[in-house]
Amino acid sequence: MSPREARDLAAGRRARLRRRVRRIRRSVAAGAAALFVTLFLVVYVQLASGHDPALSHSAKASATSATHKSSGTESSTSESSTESSTQSSEAEVESTAVEAEDIESEQTSESSGESASQGSEATSPMTTSQS
């Protein structure tokens, strides 16, 4: 093999290597551009259709803070929020129990009035349980 043939062979290998590198770089750039455009379109379509995750999260947080403000307790730590939600749950249970007692007393008074007018019918008070 002559030195000229060796140089031509080496030049051919370098040219193939350059073409290969150029092809790899182009495919990586095209893939990155396609991925970017795809993700951009997904986000754009989601926002255009009105499904903004950032707005829905802040709306939930606003609703939660409004609930805490209306119950008279506003908390800034997770322990305080747990305590306030426990307190509000206890208040709801107590108000439900009071309502149940009112209903029970109304039913008892109605049924005692009926039993007095009907004679010997026995009345049993209605009991409710809360969990």
* Number of Cβ atoms within 10 Å of the Cβ of 71: 14
Average pLDDT of span 72-80? 48
Average pLDDT of span 7-26? 96
Tokens describing residue 43: 């986000």
Sign of CA dihedral 59, 62, 64, 66: negative
Closest CA to 130 of 85, 87, 100, 88: 100
pTM for the model: 0.38
Residues in the chain: 131
State pLDDT tens for residues 92-131. Answer: 656 566 566 666 666 666 555 555 555 555 555 666 667 5
Q: At what angle do helices 53-70 and 78-118 cross, to 10 degrees?
A: 60
Closest CA to 28 of 39, 20, 16, 40: 20
